Structure 1
Amino acid sequence: MYKKNQNRQITLKDFNQPLGLKLNPENKWIKKAAMIPWEAIEKEYADLFPSGCGMPAKPLRMALGALLIQKKYDYSDRELVEQIQENPYYQYFIGLPGFQLEQPFAPSLLVEFRKRLTDEKLAEINEMIIKNNKHDDDNTPPDSNGDNSDNHDDAGNDNDGTLIIDASCAPQNIAFPQDVNLLNEARENLEEIIISICYVYNLKRPRMYRKNARKDYLSLAKSKKRTSKKIRKAIKKQLQYIRRDRNYIDWLSSYGYCPDEKQMERLEILDKLVEQQQYMYDNKTHTVENRIVSVSQPYIRPIVRGKSKAPVEFGAKLDLSVENGLGRIEKISFEAYNESEVLIPAIENYYKRNGHYPERVLADKIYRNRINLVYCKEHGIRLAGPALGRPGKDTVIDKRTEYIDSVDRIEVERKFGLSKHSHGLGLIMTKREDTTRSSIVLSIISMNLDSLLRLSLFQKLILIFSRYNCSYFLCESIG
């Protein structure tokens, strides 16, 4: 159940300030609150609660505002609630009617906020924020609904603007995956399931050799020099312990002593993990399809990035497009994919927003395949970068244009660095797949709000200096 316009807050004057407390209207959180179209977003948010029964949900402004504050300062859930409890600017930003000393919500509710605000909903919210802060000189969207995006008439539309796109990885907060550590964790999980079944049905525990298995694991974990022979021997022992424990569970299940639903889900993950490890052990390889690198978060996959600092990262891969200094996520996936597949949909999304194609697209060499080059040529788009194949002898390279393109393309790298350093994209702390996706989009929204804040300050400075110059020239003409 959801009630619209609950704790509605229109202006700063409506905020009930205690005696002696006066909020500064130039504070960044007050300015950020004015940039977000809360009422328009609330209409979309209310559709998530079709039922008219039950306890009313927390307002959209409280949910979204709290998550944006958390992204900006990297607070834990418990610490975030404490900070909101002490800070009147935070309370104004999340839409409270006045300053209060009580907690606005329990820390555990933040998980529900992230579940409800999915990555699709947050992408729509990001688009609404960008549209709300669009200036008159920006591009205007087409009059049509954009459904016939496959058959565009390019004769009446002149290409304008620049689209910058690049891919990166949002690392997850997991331990670096090692085969022995994963097998040891799987063995401990199986032992816990066996102990739980025996406790529920009042059965005698079978012999599991837990101390011996732990001792064999520590003999490798504490060794300074790990040879390949030692590692294979440790993996073999852990696989044998796991096989024995798994047979115990099958034997108990045959007599009707079955694990519960949650334990069955964990068993499916453990069986797949053991199958992969057995395959790699038998074939003496370290590569397997859809490799599990975390027992608690089995959806995470290794993403090969080829960077000197971290050749392989573990997390979600995302494509970010930048237009007029603001970022939009074009794709999020936990599976590795080729970035070139995202270019054409990103350009089509640009057309739906602005009514015309971009004049140029700045991207890495991986985006310059034959399909994308033919598509850009058909629509009059200049895809920056060298031509495919060996350069010809008579090839004329416009070094000035090439330099400008390379400098302008740095903006997307700057956006990645800013979002990872200052907005939580550098280490995702959530544990679920859906909340991880939401956390990534929240980082981009938080970064865009900061960009809009800096843009408004820049425009104010331009206005001040323009007035100063006008008055200066006026005095010169009078003199």
Structure 2
Amino acid sequence: MLRLKDPQLTLWDALLPSDLVQLNPELARVDELLEDDKFMAPFISRFDARLGRPTIPIETYLRLMYLKHRYGLGYEVLVQEVNDSIKWRRFCRIPLTQKVPHATTLIKLTKRCGPGVVEELNKALVQEAREKKIIRGRKLQVDTTVVEANIHHPTDAGLLADGVRVITRTVKKIQEAGVTLAGTFHNRQRSIKKRIYAINKVLKHRSNEAYQEVREITGAILKTTRKVIAEATCIVREAKDTLQQQGDQIKGKIHALVQTLEETISRTEKIVTQTAAVQEGNLHLPDRMVSIFDPDARPIKRGKANAPVEFGYKVLLQEVEHKIITGYKVLRGNPADDTLLFGAVEDHTETFNHPPHALAADRGFGGSGNENGCHQLGVKQVSLPRKGKISKARKAYQSQSWFKRLQRWRAGGEATISLLKRKYGLRRSLSRGYEGTTTWVGYGILAYNLHRLATIV
């Protein structure tokens, strides 16, 4: 059951001195921005207002998520900090006589809402800024960055070991749950761990012979993983037969364990396939899995000296005047930047009901035909540096004052990306999967935009 707002504060809250409950200017302005009913609409369309267990008040949830991403707090630390601060309690609309919502409650509600809710919240905030004429959408700059997945550095042997470990752990849980299994399952984690240690010792030599020896050890781990998959597949088949025979007598937790085991086997099989290809000498795999825990994450090569390859998701950001982010898109894989430009302009036109007067982007977006295409979409000034060697005429065109002015403005967008990474969690997503990362990025941008608007007005 949906609860939008909490009843009025208690008598104890009214007796507190004003100095203890007065919010600082930033929180007071954010509180005023979140008071708009637009922010309740995404939740109203997804929750029943009469049936089910009551949710925490949505106004409280929104303010808690702002504090979490504004200050980079974990759920448990967030609950502790709000519980200890009278001002943060007042900001989150939590009376002194009530408990702060538990961390697991916030986690479950965030998963239940998913990326769709936070996307609508960001759109509602941009719409509010438009109505108050803070932004007009006359200028647009587009850029991309990478949000790293919360995974360890992937290696073929390490990924195989992860698959074997998760499969063994899940099979053990199924057996402990009381499911009768006739087939045997051998725990091979110890042998794989010994081979991982052997790889670490061999890599200290840093020679071509060491590389060949590592490939041999990886081949042995590959054979062991195939045996584990074969035994686990038989376990899944037997467990499904048992579930079908006993029917309603089996708990839902066992169904979930069997489903988890099946998914893990599927992911491990993909890792086995790509490892076998590497063993044969094929080092160029187009859709390479880099984690069994975050199967949608991909290697992204950006050409940076300190990080040649990053593992995670590419994010497209659209920024207008006053450094407000009006649009974002989390992308799977590493699509070329020049293929994303037209979509960004069309999204901007849909948001503001008119195309931007000026557009600025870096050289990566300067593909053939992009400049003319943007002019056809209604953009008057397009500041897109061309790739490669340019002619004298093009050099003179890019030396015009308006072109250089837009490029200087675009360079300021790098500072925005840096701020998002340092202060709002866009360096690394602690939520796994494509949907989890999209939700994480969305709340980070929502907190950033709220803070920007609070400081502007």
The TM-score, its normalising length taken from structure 2, stands at 0.85
Alignment correspondent of 1:176 = 153
Report which stretch shifted further, 84-93 or 267-276.
84-93
**Letter paired with 2:334:** A
CA contact 2:297–2:433 (8 Å) conserved in 1: no
Deviation at 1:85, TM superposition (A): 0.7
Cα distance change of structure 1 residues 131 and 180 upon mapping to structure 2, 3 Å threshold: same
Aligned length: 431
| Structure 2 counterpart SS, 1:302 | strand
2:199 is the alignment partner of 1:216: no
The letter of the residue matching 1:433 is Y
* 2:105 equivalent to 1:109: yes
Deviations 1:202-232 (A, max 9, x none): 6585555543332222111344335211210
* Counterpart for residue 2 of structure 2: 2
Q: Distance in 1 between matches of 2:112 and 2:186?
A: 45
Structure 2 gap ranges (5+): 242-256
Is 1:186–2:186 an aligned residue pair?
no
Q: Which residue does the alignment assign to 2:41?
A: 43
CA–CA separation in structure 2 for the residues paired with 1:354 and 1:321? 13
- The answer for the alignment partner of 2:265 in structure 1 is 267
Aligned match of 1:306: 303
Gapped runs of 5+ residues in structure 1? 141-159, 457-479
Structure with the bigger percentage of helix: 2
Q: Cα 1:17–1:290, aligned 2, differ >3 Å: closer, same or farther?
A: farther
**Gap change, CA 1:40 and 1:241, over 3 Å in 2:** same
Q: What corresponds to 1:385 in structure 2?
A: 384
2:294 counterpart of 1:297 = yes
Q: Give SS of 1:262's match.
A: helix
Q: Which residue identity lines up with residue 317 of structure 2 in the other structure?
A: L
Q: Which residue of 1 aligns with 2:407?
A: 406
SS at match of 1:16: helix
Aligned to 1:146: none
1:259-295 Cα distance to aligned partner (Å, 9 max, x none): 822211111111111111112212x133323211111
Give the residue type in structure 2 aligned to 1:118. Answer: G
Checking the alignment, whether the CA contact within 8 Å between 1:328 and 1:444 is kept in structure 2 is no
Cα separation, 2, equivalents of 1:286 and 1:391: 34
**Could you tell me how far 1:17 is from its partner in structure 2?**
4.3
Q: Which moved more, 1:43-52 or 1:248-257?
A: 248-257
Distance 1:352 1:57, change over 3 A: same
Aligned to 1:466: none
8 Å contact kept, 2:150–2:428: yes
* 2:359–2:379 CA contact under 8 A, matched in 1: no
Check 1:15–1:211 CA distance in 2 against 1; reply closer, same or farther (3 A cut): same
Q: Tell me the amino acid that sits aligned with residue 381 of structure 1.
A: K
Q: Secondary structure at the match of 1:92?
A: helix
* Conservation of the 8 A alpha-carbon contact between 1:38 and 1:61: no
The CA distance in 1 between the partners of 2:36 and 2:109, in whole Å, is: 16
Q: 1:401-420, CA deviations, whole angstroms, 9 ceiling, x for partnerless residues?
A: 34322210022211111111
Q: Residues of 1 paired with 2:128 and 2:12: CA distance? A: 23
**1:126 equivalent in structure 2:** 122
The percent of aligned pairs where both chains have the same amino acid is: 18
What is the distance in 2 between the residues matched to 1:399 and 1:331?
A: 32
Which residue in 2 is equivalent to 1:429?
430
Q: For residues 434-462 of structure 1, what are the alpha-carbon distances to aligned partners after superposition, in whole Å with 9 as ceiling and x for unaligned?
A: 22211101111111122112212xxxxxx
Partner secondary structure for residue 342 of structure 2 = helix
Q: TM-score, length-normalised on structure 1?
A: 0.81
2:324 counterpart residue number:
326
Q: Is the 8 A contact 2:143 2:361 kept in 1?
A: yes
Partner of 2:245: none
SS at match of 1:436: helix
CA contact (8 A) 2:79 2:102 kept: yes
* Distance change (3 Å), C-alpha of 1:448 and 1:14: farther
Note closer, same or farther for the CA distance 1:25–1:388 as it changes in structure 2 (3 Å cut).
Answer: closer
Change (3 A) 1:278 1:252: same
Q: Distance in 1 between matches of 2:450 and 2:362?
A: 26
Contact preservation (8 Å) 2:3, 2:58: no
Contact 1:301 1:314 in 2 (8 A): yes
Over alpha carbons, which structure has the higher Rg?
A: 1
Give the whole-Å Cα distance in 2 for the aligned partners of 1:185 and 1:409. 42
Report the AA paired with residue 91 of structure 1. Answer: R
The equivalent residue for 1:349 is 347
- SS of the aligned residue for 2:305 comes to coil
Q: Is the 8 A contact 2:239 2:258 kept in 1?
A: no
In the other structure, the counterpart of 1:94 is: 92
Contact 1:37 1:128 in 2 (8 A): no
Indicate the SS of the match to 1:118: helix
The corresponding residue for 1:455 is: 456
1:281 and 2:260 aligned: no
Alignment partner, residue 375 of structure 1: 373
What is the deviation of 1:253?
5.7
Q: In 1, are the aligned partners of 2:142 and 2:318 still within 8 Å (CA)?
A: yes
Partners in 2 of 1:376 and 1:254 — Cα distance?
55
When residues 135 and 207 of structure 1 are mapped into structure 2, their CA distance, relative to the original with a 3 A threshold, is: closer
| RMSD (Å) for aligned C-alpha atoms | 2.9
CA shift for structure 1 position 55:
1.3
CA distance in 1 between counterparts of 2:8 and 2:36 reads: 10
Q: CA separation in 1, counterparts of 2:3 and 2:419?
A: 36
Comparing 235-244 and 211-220, the one that deviates more: 211-220
Aligned to 1:358: 356
**Higher alpha-carbon deviation: 400-409 or 234-243:** 400-409
User: Is the contact between residue 7 and residue 95 of structure 1 (CA under 8 Å) also seen in structure 2?
Assistant: no
Find the aligned partners of 1:440 and 1:212 in 2 and give their Cα distance: 40
Q: Distance in 1 between matches of 2:222 and 2:387?
A: 49
Deviations 1:144-193 (A, max 9, x none): xxxxxxxxxxxxxxxx8211110111112211111111112222233335
SS of alignment partner, residue 370 of structure 1: coil
